[in-house]
Structure 1
Amino acid sequence: MSIIVNLDVMLAKRKMSLTELSERVGITMSNLSILKKGKAKAIRFSTLELICEVLECQPGDILAYKE
């Protein structure tokens, strides 16, 4: 079982670069890259909230569970 991060899919749908998201959310490129690659061990709700606000999406659009 694992959590799948679909951040790259949402960025493509919104035609936004990781750099632009980083600037608008105020999170470093390296931290967003770790999240995008699915290597993050945790994410703060406040960070997830900011990402969802900027991308105009729901947390379920970014995170999915796979058995």
Structure 2
Amino acid sequence: MPIEIKLDVMLATRKVKSKDLAQIIGITEQNLSLLKQGKVKGIRLGTLEAICCALNCQPGDLLHYQAEPTD
């Protein structure tokens, strides 16, 4: 998938543990782990908003679009 999730980088930058973020935003640690690994097909805007609020960041800080090369 050309969209990379950089949540692990932001967690390290903010010095926040995954367990703590999951509790703050109200999702399970397992679901947060799947999100961090990019193993989800989508993310609810409410969840994205909660993550941004908790980490004091913008959605663009968490998501990176890598265009696929064209021949």
Give the drift of 1:2. 0.8
Provide the residue aligned with 1:57 in structure 2.
57
Question: Which structure is larger by alpha-carbon Rg, 1 or 2?
Answer: 2
Cα distance in 2, alignment partners of residues 45 and 66 from structure 1: 21
Give the drift of 1:21. 0.3
Any idea what the Cα deviations from partners look like across 1:14-45, whole Å, max 9, x if unmatched? 00010010111111111100100011100000
Cα distance in 2, alignment partners of residues 22 and 45 from structure 1: 16
Give the drift of 1:47. 0.4
Question: Structure 1 length normalisation: TM-score?
Answer: 0.96
Any idea what the Cα deviations from partners look like across 1:32-62, whole Å, max 9, x if unmatched? 0010001110000000000000000000000
Q: CA RMSD in A?
A: 0.8
Stretches (4+) displaced over 4 A: none
Provide the residue aligned with 2:4 in structure 1.
4
Q: Which amino acid aligns with 1:55?
A: L
Provide the residue aligned with 2:38 in structure 1.
38
Give identity over the alignment, percent. Answer: 55
